[in-house]
Amino acid sequence: MKRNLTLFFIILSFPIICNAEVVKITSNPTGASVEINGVVVGKTPYEMKVPGGYLKKPKTAFGAHLEHSMICRLSLQGYIPKEVELTNGPMEWRNLYGNKIWDYWLLKTDVFHVELEKASEAFTGKVDAVLNEKTSVTVRAELSTENVVRLASPSIVKLQSLDGWGSGFIITDTGVIATNKHVVKGFSSLKAVLSSKVEYTAAVTYVSSTHDIALLKIDVKGLPALRLADLATVKLGQTAIAIGNPSDGLPNTITKGIVSAVGRLSQLQGLTPNEALEVERIYGTGTWIQTDAAINGGNSGGPLLNAQSEVIGINTLSVPKKQGIFFAVSSRDLVNVLRQFYPDINVGAATSETSSSQSSVGSDTVKVSVASTPEGADIFVNGKFVGNTPSMLKLSPGLHKVTVKLNGYNNWERDLTVTKDSDVNIKAIMEVQKK
């Protein structure tokens, strides 16, 4: 209750409510959890009172006005979570002399309705992924760049919105497409152009709340899908090939480099601590791949491939004024997102390779689901960062120390004994740090 009251104070506070308006948020089916700017405030149907200045331009510089954007996320078990941008902005309020006084946002309407889609109907088909065979000593042959591109190109998708071009790639033969969250932000659908030049309307079916990942769906079957690689197989110095559509949609532009680093942004050498925090604020948390394979505007959302034409990451961003430093969201984070809809993905991308001295010897692993409230917290197993909540980990039987960390909250720690054939679900309820 205290967090809800805090939210209302931040979002809805003003000196005196005059001419208050009621904003309604509904869904079909009802009962969906309503989260506004990261804070759960109730369930649908949901109503909140706001000043009139939140729906129309304030008349004076002293009028109540909304000082930030508002994003609503609806979630219901068995359905795909939906994000709705409630506001337009920022806009400038200027006085009679044309001087800017402040920025403000306006609610788009006073009634928002969302039709929720069953996950089982949208996410069909199968995700192809590489097994995490820790005991294997087989060295797989590297393909030539030409062959990597030849195999991958039929799965590359050019995405067009009113804001420009982006990239994506097919991950199931039933038309599920992976891309970056920032490519689809603000849109419910985009135009998808396949390698065959055939165009489809791609519905935005899922947007991650913690990572720069989104999933789209086109209504077509029999498509060539890319295989996802296990992040555990990614080594520093290995080949990295980025494919995308930079420069106003030039098709399948290729850049080649190496993997420079893998880890959380704060652990990588290419960014200062402040730069890492700013990138995480904009693009989300998780495990990142740093590469010198050039990633430019329009390349965002395309695949970063290894020399076997498998996806090791999603091309995401470049660092201004820094040469040869580019970042991709890792395949580990993509797999964690996909496991919400494809729980049987047979890849060890979210596997903790660290086991305690008391762990059993052997290749058997146990699935351990780790969630938290709020989501997006960092997960450490035996001191090693393995991903963000929610995640499905694979741990060896034995004793493990699980730590969940989130800025502004106390660390959550548990000693977890994993037994063979067990089914473990952990949910960390994070406590706000006292100031």
pLDDT band at 422 (very low <50, low <70, confident <90, very high): confident
Q: For residue 355, is pLDDT > 60?
A: no
26 exposure class (CB count in 10 Å sphere: 0-12, 13-18, 19+): middle
SS3 content of the chain, % helix, strand, coil (to 5): 15, 40, 45
DSSP assignment of 9-50, as one string? Answer: HHHH--SS--S-EEEEEEEESS--EEEETTEEEEESSEEEEE
Q: Are 178 and 334 in contact (CB under 8 A)?
A: yes
Q: Which CATH architecture has domain 122-333?
A: Beta Barrel (2.40)
Mean pLDDT of all residues belonging to the chain: 84
Two domains, one topology: 122-333 and 351-429: no
User: What pLDDT is recorded for position 140?
Assistant: 67
Task: Please tell me the distance from the alpha carbon of residue 306 to that of residue 31, in angstroms, as a whole number.
Answer: 43
Task: Please tell me the distance from the alpha carbon of residue 319 to that of residue 369, in angstroms, as a whole number.
Answer: 34
Bridge pairing between strands 199-207 and 71-75: unpaired
Task: Please tell me the distance from the alpha carbon of residue 281 to that of residue 55, in angstroms, as a whole number.
Answer: 27
Task: Please tell me the distance from the alpha carbon of residue 309 to that of residue 227, in angstroms, as a whole number.
Answer: 8
Q: For residue 59, is pLDDT > 80?
A: no
Q: For residue 58, is pLDDT > 50?
A: yes
User: What pLDDT is recorded for position 15?
Assistant: 43
Cβ atoms within 10 Å of 343's Cβ, excluding its own: 10
- For 233-259, the pLDDT digits (tens) are 899 999 999 999 876 656 778 999 999
Q: What is the pTM of this model?
A: 0.71
Task: Please tell me the distance from the alpha carbon of residue 319 to that of residue 255, in angstroms, as a whole number.
Answer: 16
- For 130-172, the pLDDT digits (tens) are 755 443 444 567 899 999 999 999 999 999 988 888 999 999 9
Instruction: Give the mean model confidence (pLDDT) for residues 17-46.
Output: 89
- For 293-324, the pLDDT digits (tens) are 998 877 899 999 999 999 999 999 988 778 88
Q: For residue 10, is pLDDT > 90?
A: no
- Any idea where the domains of the chain sit in the sequence? 2-116, 122-333, 351-429
User: What pLDDT is recorded for position 279?
Assistant: 84
Give the SS3 label for residue 416: strand
Tokens representing residue 386 in the block: 């393995």
Q: In the structure, how many helices (H) and strands (E) does the chain have?
A: 7, 28
Instruction: Give the mean model confidence (pLDDT) for residues 346-354.
Output: 42
Cβ atoms within 10 Å of 69's Cβ, excluding its own: 13
Q: For residue 333, is pLDDT > 60?
A: yes
Q: Which CATH architecture has domain 351-429?
A: Sandwich (2.60)
User: What pLDDT is recorded for position 206?
Assistant: 93
Instruction: Give the mean model confidence (pLDDT) for residues 109-124.
Output: 93
Task: Please tell me the distance from the alpha carbon of residue 142 to that of residue 131, in angstroms, as a whole number.
Answer: 18
Instruction: Give the residue among 183, 143, 196, 209 at the shortest CA–CA distance from 295.
Output: 183
